Amino acid sequence: MSDRPAPPQRPAVRVTVAQLQVGPDRTANLLAAQDALRTAARARADVVVLPEYASAYDPRGVGVDLAEPLDGPFVGALRQAAARHGLAVVAGTTLPDGAPGADGRPRAVNAVVAVDATGDVAGVYRKVHLYDAFGHRESDRLAPGPADAPPLVLDVAGLRFGVLTCYDLRFPESARRVVDAGADVLVVPAAWVAGDLKALHWRTLAVARAIENTAAVVAVGQAGTGVVGRSLVVGPDGVVGLELDGTPQVRTVDLDAAALRAVRERDPSLANRRYAVVPRA
């Protein structure tokens, strides 16, 4: 039974952005995540979004050594907290069940888990686009998710949240595919690696995905060494309503469902499109 009071009637969906600093200490990371959920519950949020690799992170690379199964302590604790507080959770984690690499070494899977407000796992998105760019090779440690897997879309209080993660933001077809599945909001947990122009790219791409899809974007980055942080919430018209710096912090915003519908009526670009998005063979 939830210990959360019944929320007031309102036309908005309340989203908590949890820009956490994450390291290899699983216990510390879980405590930070649980604290973020308590903060979200006090703010009467409907959904809280944690960053990519929220369960454990090493800037040198994440693999099977930092992975844990879906029924492990991290996701289990999120499920318990979600049910206790009556809010949905979207969080990045690492699963140990990736296919071995070409060299035969085991690989993990970069995954985003969606938990509904009853504590049930509503779905898991396994990252399709691995970060083999800017001098990094995520595919050495991680196996990609199947490109033809059904998009992960979570219904929360009258809005539909479609899930991407980090490097997927550079691929507009990934965002369009979840919008085609009914998403009103694009949720992007990330550990966006710092570097020349990287913060600019992060912000520009989040705004672009919002405008071209007439969808809100909730892009939640990790804080800390080697990552940019700078979480932001973008409206379907491209207006940035929340933008954080690089420090750990938890903030809550409202997404107006009526305003989103109004933008899509005024700018019917989704209805006017002439091309479909299909997985590449």
Query: Which of 10, 85, 93 lies closest to 51, judged by CA?
Result: 93
SS3 167: helix
Q: Which helix (H) or strand (E) holds 126?
A: strand 121-126
- Exposure string of 83-95, with b = 16+ CB inside 10 Å and e = fewer, is bbbbbbbbbbbbb
Q: Does 127 participate in catalysis according to the annotation?
A: yes
Q: Does 265 participate in catalysis according to the annotation?
A: no
Query: CA-CA distance, 54 to 191, in Å (whole number)?
Result: 9
Query: CA-CA distance, 108 to 99, in Å (whole number)?
Result: 7
Query: CA-CA distance, 247 to 21, in Å (whole number)?
Result: 8
Which candidate in 166, 173, 198, 265 is catalytic?
Answer: 166
DSSP letter assigned to residue 142: B
Q: Does 166 participate in catalysis according to the annotation?
A: yes
Which candidate in 127, 173, 198, 265 is catalytic?
Answer: 127
SS3 206: helix
DSSP letter assigned to residue 201: H
Catalytic residue ranges? 52, 127, 166
